[in-house]
Amino acid sequence: MLASIWRINMELLQLREKEIFETLKKLKEFEFVVIGGYSVNAYTLPRFSVDCDIVIKSKDELKDIEEAIKKINYKKEETNKNKAFYYGNFCRYEKDLGKGFRVSIDILIKEVLDRQTNTVFSSDWIFENSGIRILKGKTINEELKLRIINPDALMVMKIINCRSTDIRDVFMLASQIKDKKWIKEEISKRYNFDDRLSKIKEKINSKQFKDGLQGIYGIIDSKIFEKNKKIILSLREK
């Protein structure tokens, strides 16, 4: 019974992820940067995400993307702004995969405005801190070359947002850090750095954190776990 449930769940995850990859293939000709959960997959062991977040510079680019995405049966959703992670100028397109399962693409226009912290990241900043990277699937054996936010800039966004999912991503991204000083400076421009790092420290030192992490990524070697923890806590020293 449990094996059957696991198989069904895996098939649904594959269905959703395959749809996201196919959608990104259709959009490759346009100018956008992948952020959020799917960008993390370019640098760490891949994790699954139902939603894909992309950033564009203008409404002109949005018109072209909307035209393309509607051709593959996505529909614009009237997002509940009070429940969304973002506020400001963004839109969500969803596709019904049947049996009540959906995938969504969040298109953020000109900037990313985080609802929880009121932090603003301009599209110029995101494009400047991005590059062509390989995006790998978790449940499907596929790879895509796309413009993806760089690991240091992604760390900045994730540390400021600091939700439970963000903290897990920060931990997994730790070994990819290039410039600790830059990360600290960029965070400090926008938010209280010590507040964010204290919240992350409390979370990663909890007894439940490693178990939760391994529930998503699989077994993590104790030496790697301690190394990543040390890297994150060392951000305060720079």
DSSP string, 87-151: ESSEEEEEEEEETTEEEEEEEEESEEEETTT--EEEHHHHHHTEEEEEEE-SSS--EEEEEEE-H
pLDDT per position in the chain (238 positions), as tens? Answer: 434 433 445 566 788 889 999 999 999 999 999 999 899 989 987 777 768 999 999 988 999 999 999 999 999 987 655 446 666 788 999 999 887 788 899 999 999 998 889 999 999 999 999 999 999 888 888 899 999 999 999 999 999 999 999 999 999 999 999 999 999 999 999 999 999 999 999 999 998 999 999 888 888 899 999 999 999 989 987 5
- In this prediction the pTM is 0.89
Give the pairing type, strands 101-109 and 75-77. Answer: unpaired
Can you say whether the dihedral through the CA atoms of 151, 155, 161, 167 is positive or negative? positive
Q: Are 146 and 135 in contact (CB under 8 A)?
A: yes
Beta strand pairing call for 111-114 and 120-122:
antiparallel
Listed residues 149, 165, 194: the one ending a domain: 149
- The answer to whether residues 110 and 15 belong to one domain is yes
C-alpha span between 40 and 34 (Å, rounded): 9
133 and 216 fall within a common domain: no
Asked if 13 and 102 sit in the same domain, the reply is yes
| pLDDT for residue 126 | 97
Same domain? For 28 and 95 the reply is: yes
pLDDT score, position 79: 62
- The number of folded domains in the chain is 2
Question: Which residue in the block uniquely carries the two structure tokens 């977040």?
Answer: 53
Cβ atoms of residues 150 and 29 within 8 Å: no
